[in-house]
Amino acid sequence: MSREQVDFFVSQYSSMSDDELAYLIAAKREGLSQDAARALDIVLKQRDPEALVTALSETATEIAAQAETARKDAEEARKLERAIRRVVHAISSISIAIGLLAVAFERPEEGYLLSGMGAALLVAYHFHRLHSRLVSALFRPD
């Protein structure tokens, strides 16, 4: 452990409020370096434990609320994606069916065009979904 690093972190953590320290403990404690964790322990011993416990419980509640909001947002996004997928499949299916009926009733130019448009819509949509998932998997921050 570097004494200079510990002193640096002690000065940083000493200037933090109880709420900021509580957030640091609740959200980032596991990711701290050995020097930072040692400095945090030093600063925590100097602080009022009751105030820290209160701030920590409030911070934990806030983090839980943020996680719940993120979960609900993700669920809404999945529902919207599912609805869009159903609409695209319905439009493509109807387009292909009408196009095939047009071909059956001896209107091949319109029928092939309509069927091709339906198939192209379906392929383009699924290509877009695949591309979006690939990009999100490559650049996911976690």
Instruction: For residue 90, give every residue at least 6 positions away whose Cβ sits within 8 Å of its Cβ, in sequence order, or none.
Output: none
pLDDT at 1: 60
pLDDT band at 29 (very low <50, low <70, confident <90, very high): low
8 Å CB contact between 22 and 52: yes
- Look-up: residue for tokens 């200079």? 4
Q: How far apart are CA 78 and CA 75, in angstroms?
A: 5
pLDDT single digits (tens) 67-112: 999 999 999 999 999 999 999 999 999 999 999 999 999 889 999 9
Delimit the domains of the chain by residue range.
Answer: 73-142
pLDDT at 17: 79
